[in-house]
Amino acid sequence: MTEPLIKPERGPRVKPPRAVTPAERSAITVYIRDSVPDKHKIATERALLKQVPRSVAIKTKCLACCNFDREEVKLCAVYTCPLNPYRPYQSAAAAEESDDAEQDE
Ligand code: SF4
């Protein structure tokens, strides 16, 4: 069983952590300790340990990609990224536009 780096209260949507090798655990610990702002440590760890829904994992990935700046995620113009249509913080209009494009396919 993998011990969480941070031991927050468990919410209703938080699943048990997936099994990880010691090398994965070490890499996750170092990444979170050295590269993730305090505000995002718990969500990032949960996403990396597959304890949260995919939508939260996508949000975590986009935030990490944009140096944890919500505004940068919102403005992301990397249309070749497969996560782009699913990224968080899009305006309602942009999200609708994305849905329309998907239905046209
Ligand atoms: S959609 Fe944009 S912010 Fe999200 S992972 Fe892709 S490039 Fe990064």
Q: Ligand 1 centroid to 104 CA: how many Å?
A: 23
Enumerate residues 6+ apart whose C-beta is below 8 A from 44.
Answer: 31, 32, 36, 60, 64
Q: What is the pLDDT of residues 24-72, one digit of tens each?
A: 999 999 999 999 999 999 999 999 999 999 999 999 999 999 999 999 9
Atom of ligand 1 nearest to the CA of 83: 1
Q: What is the pTM (predicted TM-score) of this model?
A: 0.77
What is the per-residue pLDDT for 18? 92
Q: Any idea where the domains of the chain sit in the sequence?
A: 22-104
Rounded Cα–Cα distance for residues 34 and 36 (Å): 6
